[in-house]
Amino acid sequence: MLLIYEPESAYQGEAGERRLTEIVAKHMALAEELIAAGIQKGGGGLQGVDTATTVVTGGGQQTVHDGPFAETHEQLGGYYLIEVDDLDEALAIARRIPVAEGGKVEVRPLMREDD
């Protein structure tokens, strides 16, 4: 499991768009190589944190919030990749993911070809 962290600002503006095109081309080349070698099992780009929604479990309740998981206290412990029609369906599954008290599940759409 490889997780990519980057500043979103790097891809904003005209220079950012050029950089994005370059980086995406590099991703595709790398992925092609890794898939051919039988190493890569899956992957994808995520849309910006602007599109993030988080389900918080705590105090016997589950609540939905705007925005990404932002604490430094908890650590990323795993991921599910699902395909559903809309955010409500994704949130319904996010609620079913077992987490410890205070656990959070962030929901982020993947980039689509037409984005």
Partner 1 sequence: MKTTDGGQIAAVRPRVVAALAARFRDLDLAEDAFSDAAAAALVAWRQQPPGDHAAWLWRAAVRRAIDARRKAAVRRRAQHDLRQPEATPEELLIAAREPIPDERLRLIFVCSHPALAPDTRAALTLKVVCGLSTERLARAFLVSEPTMLQRITRAKRKIQAAGVPFAIPEPADWPERLDAVLSTLEVAYAQAYEDAALTEEAAPFTAEVLRLSGVLAEVLPQEPEVLALAALVRFAEARRPARLDRYGVMVPLEDQDPALWRRDLMVEGAGLLERSAEMGRLGARQILAAIHAAHLSRAETGAAPWAEIARLYDALIAMRPDVVVQVNRAVSRGKAFGADEGLRALAQLADEPRVQTWRPYHAARASLLNQAGEHEAAIQAFEAALRLSPPQAERRFLEQRMAEATRSLRGGRATFG
- Exactly one of 13, 33, 51, 74 binds partner 1 (CB under 8 A); which one? 51
Tokens of 3: 């997780």
CA-to-CA distance for 69 and 78, rounded, in angstroms? 14
CB neighbourhood size of 54 (10 A):
19
Using CB under 8 A as the binding rule, the residues of this chain from 81 to 100 that contact partner 1 are: 85-92
Find the part of the chain contacting partner 1 (CB under 8 A) among 13-21, 33-41, 45-53, 96-104. 45-53
# residues contacting partner 1 (CB under 8 A) = 23
Element (H, E) at 57: strand 53-58
Q: Residue 84: what residue type?
A: V
Looking at the DSSP bridge assignments, the partners of residue 105 are 55
Stretch that binds partner 1, among 20-28, 35-43, 61-69, 74-82 (CB under 8 A): 61-69
- With respect to partner 1, which residue has the nearer C-beta, 99 or 106? 106
Does 20 contact partner 1 by CB under 8 A? Answer: no
